[in-house]
Amino acid sequence: MTIAIYPGSFDPIHNGHIEIVRRASLLFEQVIWAAYDRPLKSLLFSEQERLEFMHEAAKDLPNVQVRSYHGLTVLFARQAGAKAIVRGLRATHDFEIEYQMALTNAQQAAEIDTVCLMTGAQYAFLSSSILKEVALANGDISSMVPPYVAHKLKARLAQLGEDRGDKVKMVSLTE
Ligand code: ADP
């Protein structure tokens, strides 16, 4: 069985991520869609919440398994028996970062390859950060995320606004 993992922070998932996991599910026999439990960036959603969004998005994809993991991605991939790490490539600036990461991963686990899927044109400039900024400014995010994510995202930002009473501080969460 050819297993691939699709790792990321997914804070929260958006339609660009969902498109990649769907395409990966057509290429590999099994895809493990994996959220880093504690990435080195400030998170808006807990591990549990991020996994719930992913479960909902993958519920009609029988060969996609949703999990979280801790530590080095390649070690998780090796333990899962994966042959490939899937990453999405957006326009321009993703390449350098992904290339660097792929070479580092290859150094740690030569048997696991990185497979980059080019983002669909409609999602080429979509990121979780942009999504949060648009949501924070009350913009229309309906084309960026499924309704269940949009709903929770707006609620979370509103709750943060109430807690802090200071929109300037909230903007720093999106960096
Ligand atoms: P990370 O913290 O690893 O960058 P992200 O959650 O931001 O995690 O992204 C996870 C994966 O999804 C990465 O491979 C990233 O390139 C990809 N990705 C992010 N945005 C998009 C998009 N708009 N279209 C396709 N893939 C994307």
Does residue 128 belong to any structural domain of this protein? no
Return the pLDDT at 174: 55
CA 13, distance to chain mean position in Å, is 5
Return the pLDDT at 41: 81
pLDDT (tens place) for every residue of the chain, 175 residues total: 899 999 999 999 999 999 999 999 999 999 999 999 987 788 999 999 999 999 999 999 999 999 999 999 999 999 999 999 999 998 777 889 999 999 999 999 999 999 999 998 999 989 999 999 999 999 999 999 999 999 999 999 998 877 766 555 555 555 4
Q: List beta partners, residue 89.
A: 118
- 93, amino acid identity: H
Residue 121 carries which DSSP code?
Answer: G
- 105, amino acid identity: N
Does residue 172 belong to any structural domain of this protein? no
Does residue 148 belong to any structural domain of this protein? no
Nearest CA to ligand 1 atom 18: 88
The total domain count for the chain is 1
Q: Which atom of ligand 1 is nearest to the CA of 116?
A: 14
CATH of the domain at 69: 3.40.50.620
Does residue 34 belong to any structural domain of this protein? yes
Q: Which atom of ligand 1 is nearest to the CA of 88?
A: 26
Best residue for ligand 1 mutational test, from 50, 76, 90 (most atoms within 8 Å of Cβ):
90
Does residue 129 belong to any structural domain of this protein? no
Number of helices (H), then strands (E), belonging to the chain: the values are 7, 5
Return the pLDDT at 173: 55
Does residue 55 belong to any structural domain of this protein? yes
pTM score of the predicted model: 0.90
Centre of ligand 1 to C-alpha 127, Å, is 7
How far apart CA 11 and CA 39 sit, in angstroms, is 10
**Domain around 25:** 3-123
CB half-sphere exposure, 54, CA atoms < 13 A: 28
Residue 125 carries which DSSP code?
Answer: T
Alpha-carbon distance values, 11 to 42, 63, 87, 128, 130 (Å): 9, 23, 16, 6, 12
Measuring CA to CA, which residue among 55, 53, 34 is closest to residue 44? 53
Best residue for ligand 1 mutational test, from 15, 20, 42 (most atoms within 8 Å of Cβ):
20
Residues 6+ apart with CB under 8 A from 125: 90, 91
Q: Are 135 and 38 in contact (CB under 8 A)?
A: no
Does residue 50 belong to any structural domain of this protein? yes
Beta carbon of 45 within 6 Å of any ligand 1 atom: no
